Each structure stands twice: as structure tokens, then as C-alpha cells.
Amino acid sequence: SSDPLSTSEYIHIPSLVHHGIEGKTLLLSVETHFPLDKAEIQGTWSHTSPSGARVTLVTFNEGSAIVDMMYRDRLIFREPNVSLIIKGLNPDDEGDYQLNLNIKFRNKTGLVFKEERTVHVTVDVPVSIPVIEKSPSYAVVEDKANVTWTCSVERGTRVAFLWLRDNIVLGHNGRYHFSLDNSTLFISPVKKEDKGIYQCVAINPVSYSRKSRAVELTVYYGPYNLEVNSGQGLRTGEVFTINPGELVFFECQADSNPPNSYVWISKSHNDTQVITEGPRLEVRSYRLAQAEEYLCRAFNNVTQKQDEAQFTLVVASLGTAVITVCSLFIIGCMLLFFIIFTCHPKRGLSNCFVCDMTTHVSTGHEDATEDFGIYEFVSIPGKMESTQASCRSLARLESVQDMHTTIYDVIRHVPEMQSHSLLK
Ligand SMILES: *[C@@H]1O[C@H](CO)[C@@H](O)[C@H](O)[C@H]1NC(C)=O
Ligand SMILES: *[C@@H]1O[C@H](CO)[C@@H](O)[C@H](O)[C@H]1NC(C)=O
Ligand SMILES: *[C@@H]1O[C@H](CO)[C@@H](O)[C@H](O)[C@H]1NC(C)=O
Ligand SMILES: *[C@@H]1O[C@H](CO)[C@@H](O)[C@H](O)[C@H]1NC(C)=O
């Protein structure tokens, strides 16, 4: 059963493909499946480079070996062990290594077995630090330019490349195009979010990853997110309410590279006029209850894009101002409502609030001039037939501001003749 002739394979090479590393040692291991002490052997190891050049490295028999002169320092061969060791691998060592072995068993006279094996060897070179390049080298304008990044290594085999922006690995997106080996990244078109610090990484199976130096991509963009802000005043949406005579600063801000230039424009009626330039506007206004329209316009002179934000400035005593304005508006509406529906010509004048008011006047005192002042309208439920509203003079109230009850108005002038005619 241990008859060596019964095996068809006298030698075995565990691995027919080897990836060596430059500078390291490679063992082309051969297992012999016959008793070395009962056989005579004779053979060669030879090397065929990828270009086809063939060299016999070792010629050997069971007792001696001759190593090619050129390889004497680098090859280790210890007959009758037919494994071959190559030291200090270099890229020129790549190629096919062929073992030819003739075996003659001493007890089988005359019979020679020929074995032939080929081992393929590649030599991987560790990667050097990659070199990153950007084209164009200058800053670019978003939406208008493309940028090409290239990564190269001076040394290194089977190199894979990766791209980082601000230390985050870049993957495919609609605007990022990678070459097949990833050594080129083409960004088209460039956007604001592409700005940042770029690095490329080179890696292969026999090295740690190597990072290039960092290169910044500057992108001109904007303006974006234009905003007008003020530390003072009361803001309601796009309306700023400020106190009369108060000095108020407005700040215009937008995200932009390079920084925007700003102009402030005042809009009144159809007339627009540039008030000032720069990010800050200073306003002091005494013109009560007048709404003024302003505009901040931001312009990026590199991207040639601009944006503007409009806002309204109302000068009023803060706090009561908003309530007053709203109240006055409601009064106006209600007055109109009463006049149209209560003082209808077909109904008696006694149903009209004016009548009711004058009734009060006539019962109290005759001089109408004393009744100039503020009147409050109080609706009285259940008295809809006789009176729609009773009027109460508020002429002697000290402060208008203190009056938070229903609705009031200021009567500045009552023509006497008219009130008399209304009485009739
Ligand atoms: C042959 O040599 C190699 C390398 O020195 C060694 O690893 C292997 O064990 C040897 N084989 C035998 C049978 O001694
Ligand atoms: C950017 O690349 C696109 C193709 O992706 C090309 O059509 C365009 O002309 C390029 N623009 C510039 C400024 O080179
Ligand atoms: C503003 O100007 C337009 C034409 O430029 C005109 O039609 C419009 O009536 C003007 N409005 C006012 C309030 O002046
Ligand atoms: C853009 O404006 C700045 C000042 O705001 C100026 O210094 C710069 O020269 C301008 N650039 C161009 C291209 O006009």
C-alpha cells in the first residue's frame, strides 16, 4: 500500500499562484510524495518573465545544486528538498516559475518519472504616498465650473483609490464621476456643498492605506438665505414696529462667498431709492403710524447672483399701538355697518345712533361743544327696536391709553346745524 509507484503524483505544490511583496522572501513550497532516500532526482527551476525571457535558476540532483550566478545571493535551494526560496523580491521576479523533475527509483531499474509544475508569481509593491491634483487649480464658481481631481502614486501595484472630503468618503452622486480605477474624480457642475478639504487615499493588498496631502476646493456661491434682522423693535413676520424717535439698526445677512455687497432701498409709492450700502441700516423715524417699505438687496459680484428681502417699518408706541390700529379698523367697519343698516331712511331717525347720542346731549345740557370727545358704543341686547346703541360720553376720561373696553372713536367736530336737522 505504501508502494510509491501507486501514486500518480510524486510531487505536490500547495499553491500555484503567489502574491509576493517587494523586498520580502517568497517560498515556492514543494511537497515530495516519495521516499527521497530511495530515489535519484535531477531537475531544474526556471523563470519566465512576462516579457518571455527565460532563465534557468537552479540545476540540481539529489546531492548537489548549481544556482545561476546572477541569483546566487537571492536564492536558497537545499537539495534534496526541492522547494525554492527567493529573497529580496523585486518586480522583475514576476512571472512563471517552472519546476522540471526527473525521478528514478533505485529499485525500479531504468524507469524515470517526469514531473512538471508551473507556479505563477506576482510581486506587489507597497503604495507610496499618493499625490493629489486639482484642475483648475483656482477657485471656481458654482453651477458654472467643473473640477477634476486626480490621484496618482509613484509606486504601488494593484492600487485602489478613495476620495475624502472633510474626512468623509465620497460616493457616487449625480455630479460625481469616477474613473474605472477611481483615480480620477470629476465634479460637474460644482455646487456650494462641494467646497471643503479634499484628500485621496491609496491602498493595495500589501500596504496600509496612504493619504495624500489635503487640498482645499474653494467655491464661489450665493447669496443664500437672505435675512433682515434687528435687535430692536417688535417683529411680526416682515413687519417691524418701532417706537417714534428710536434709533434702530437693521442687519442684512446672507450666506455667500465672496461676501455680498449690500444696498438698502426705500420704497415709497412708486419711487425706489438707494439709501445706503453695506450690511447695516440705521433708521430713526418720527412719522407715526406710517408704514414704510424697505428692501435689502445682496449681490455677489463673482457669481453675479442677487437676492432681496423686503420688510415694512411701522412707527408706533409699542404695546398699545398694535391694539389701537386694529381697534380703529374695527370701529370703521362697525360705523359703516350701523349707518347703512340702522339709519335707513324708511325707519325712524330715533333708531339711529346719532339720534340716541343727541338725545343724551339734549337731556344733559344744551351746549354741543361740551360733548366733543370720546364716545363708546355699547350694544344693549333686547332693545333692538328702540335703540341700537346707547352712547356714553367719555370726554372727561383722563387717558385714552387706559381704556381697554370695547370701541371708541374721537369726534372732533359736530356741525351744529346738521345735528339740529337730524333731530327733526
Ligand atoms: C523544504 O524546505 C522548506 C523551506 O525551508 C521547508 O519549509 C520544508 O519543510 C522543507 N521540506 C522538507 C520535507 O523538509
Ligand atoms: C462641464 O462639464 C460638462 C459635461 O459634464 C460640459 O458640458 C461643460 O461644458 C463643462 N463646463 C465647463 C465650464 O468646462
Ligand atoms: C406705479 O407705476 C406704474 C407704471 O410704472 C403705474 O401703472 C402705476 O399706476 C403707478 N402706481 C402709483 C401708485 O403711482
Ligand atoms: C467685488 O466687490 C468687491 C467689493 O465688494 C471688490 O473688492 C471686488 O473687486 C469685486 N470683484 C469683482 C470681480 O467685481
**CATH class of the 222-316 domain in this structure:** mainly beta
pLDDT for 323: 61
Expressed in angstroms and rounded, the spacing between residue 146 Cα and the centre of ligand 2 is 6
Any ligand 3 atom below 6 A from CB of 271: no
Expressed in angstroms and rounded, the spacing between residue 141 Cα and the centre of ligand 2 is 13
Expressed in angstroms and rounded, the spacing between residue 30 Cα and the centre of ligand 1 is 8
Expressed in angstroms and rounded, the spacing between residue 254 Cα and the centre of ligand 2 is 28
Provide mean pLDDT across the span 108-122: 88
Which DSSP string do the residues of 263-286 spell out, in sequence order? EEEEEETTEEEEEEESSEEEEE--
Look up cell 519546476; give the residue: 99
Mutate to test the pocket of ligand 4, among 256, 261, 301, 302 (most ligand atoms within 8 A of CB): 301
Euclidean distance between CA atoms 311 and 242, whole angstroms: 13
Question: Can you name the residues that pair with 221 across neighbouring β-strands?
Answer: 257
> What pLDDT, in 10s, does the model give residues 97-111?
999 999 998 876 778
Q: pLDDT at residue 380 above 80?
A: no
Euclidean distance between CA atoms 32 and 358, whole angstroms: 133
The domain 4-123: what is its CATH number? 2.60.40.10
Expressed in angstroms and rounded, the spacing between residue 188 Cα and the centre of ligand 4 is 26
Mutate to test the pocket of ligand 3, among 267, 268, 269, 270 (most ligand atoms within 8 A of CB): 270
- Residue 277: nearest ligand to its CA? 4
Expressed in angstroms and rounded, the spacing between residue 33 Cα and the centre of ligand 1 is 13
Look up cell 455667500; give the residue: 256
Nearest to 34 by CA among 101, 133, 117: 101
The end-to-end CA distance of the chain, in Å, is: 146
Q: pLDDT at residue 338 above 50?
A: yes
What pTM did the predictor assign? 0.65
> What pLDDT, in 10s, does the model give residues 227-250?
999 988 888 888 998 888 888 899
The three cell numbers of residue 165 are 472630503
Nearest to 198 by CA among 173, 219, 222, 167: 167
Expressed in angstroms and rounded, the spacing between residue 18 Cα and the centre of ligand 1 is 17
Q: What is the CA radius of gyration of the chain?
A: 50
Would you say the C-alpha torsion 410, 416, 417, 423 has a positive or negative sign? Answer: positive
Atom of ligand 3 nearest to the CA of 269: 13
Bigger pLDDT: 46 or 286? 46
Expressed in angstroms and rounded, the spacing between residue 261 Cα and the centre of ligand 4 is 8
Expressed in angstroms and rounded, the spacing between residue 270 Cα and the centre of ligand 3 is 6
> What pLDDT, in 10s, does the model give residues 133-166?
999 999 999 999 999 999 999 999 999 999 999 9
Question: Can you name the residues that pair with 152 across neighbouring β-strands?
Answer: 131
Under the banding of pLDDT at 50, 70 and 90, the label for residue 341 is: low
> What pLDDT, in 10s, does the model give residues 184-193?
999 999 999 9
Residue nearest to atom 10 of ligand 3 (CA): 270
Whether the CB-CB separation of 216 and 197 falls below 8 Å is answered with yes
Domain 4-123 and domain 131-217, same fold? Reply is yes
Look up cell 548537489; give the residue: 64
Under the banding of pLDDT at 50, 70 and 90, the label for residue 307 is: very high
CA atoms within 13 A on the CB side of 145: 21
- Residue 268: nearest ligand to its CA? 3
Any ligand 3 atom below 6 A from CB of 270: yes
pLDDT for 179: 96
Euclidean distance between CA atoms 30 and 19, whole angstroms: 17
Domain ranges of the chain: 4-123, 131-217, 222-316, 368-423
Any ligand 1 atom below 6 A from CB of 81: yes
Euclidean distance between CA atoms 151 and 170, whole angstroms: 14
Atom of ligand 4 nearest to the CA of 301: 1
Number of separate helices (H) and strands (E) present in the chain: 3, 33
Nearest to 84 by CA among 35, 121, 130: 121
Residues ≥6 apart with Cβ < 8 Å to 342: 351, 352, 353, 388
Any ligand 2 atom below 6 A from CB of 141: no
Bigger pLDDT: 109 or 62? 62
- Residue 148: nearest ligand to its CA? 2
Residues ≥6 apart with Cβ < 8 Å to 190: 140, 141, 142, 143, 144, 145, 146, 147, 175, 217, 219
Whether the CB-CB separation of 373 and 414 falls below 8 Å is answered with no
Sheet architecture: strand order including 247-257: 140-141, 219-229, 247-257, 280-284
Q: pLDDT at residue 13 above 70?
A: yes
Mean of per-residue pLDDT scores for the chain: 80
Q: pLDDT at residue 292 above 90?
A: no
Mutate to test the pocket of ligand 1, among 83, 84, 86, 87 (most ligand atoms within 8 A of CB): 83
- The domain covering 131-217 belongs, at the CATH homologous superfamily level, to Immunoglobulins (2.60.40.10)
Residue nearest to atom 5 of ligand 3 (CA): 270
Nearest to 115 by CA among 6, 13, 18: 13
> What pLDDT, in 10s, does the model give residues 311-323?
998 888 765 555 6
